Structure 1
Amino acid sequence: MQGEKNMNKHLHRIVFNAARGMRMVVQETAMSAGKATGATSAVVATALAGLLAVAPAPAQIVGAPGVAPNLRPTVLLAPNGVPLVNIQTPSAAGVSRNLFN
Structure 2
Amino acid sequence: MNKHLHRIVFNAARGMRMVVQETAMSAGKATGATSAVVATALAGLFAVSPAPAQIVGAPGVAPNLRPTVLLAPNGVPLVNIQTPSAAGVSRNLFN
TM-score of the alignment, normalized to the shorter chain, above 0.5: yes
- What secondary structure sits across from 1:19 in the alignment? coil
Which structure is larger by alpha-carbon Rg, 1 or 2? 1
2: CA distance, partners of 1:93 / 1:14 = 68
Tell me which residue corresponds to 1:95: 89
2: CA distance, partners of 1:85 / 1:43 = 42
2:74 maps to 1:74? no
Q: Deviation digits for residues 7-38 of structure 1, max 9, x if unmatched?
A: 99999999999659999999999966343321
Output the TM-score relative to the length of structure 2. Answer: 0.65
Compared CA separation, residues 63 and 23, structure 1 to 2 (3 A):
same
2: CA distance, partners of 1:91 / 1:8 = 73
User: Percent identity over the alignment?
Assistant: 98
2: CA distance, partners of 1:27 / 1:100 = 56
Indicate the larger mover: 27-36 or 69-78: 27-36
CA displacement at 1:57 relative to structure 2: 1.8
Compared CA separation, residues 60 and 8, structure 1 to 2 (3 A):
closer
Compared CA separation, residues 100 and 12, structure 1 to 2 (3 A):
closer
Q: Number of paired residues?
A: 95
Tell me which residue corresponds to 2:31: 37
Tell me which residue corresponds to 1:59: 53
Output the TM-score relative to the length of structure 1. Answer: 0.62
2: CA distance, partners of 1:94 / 1:27 = 61
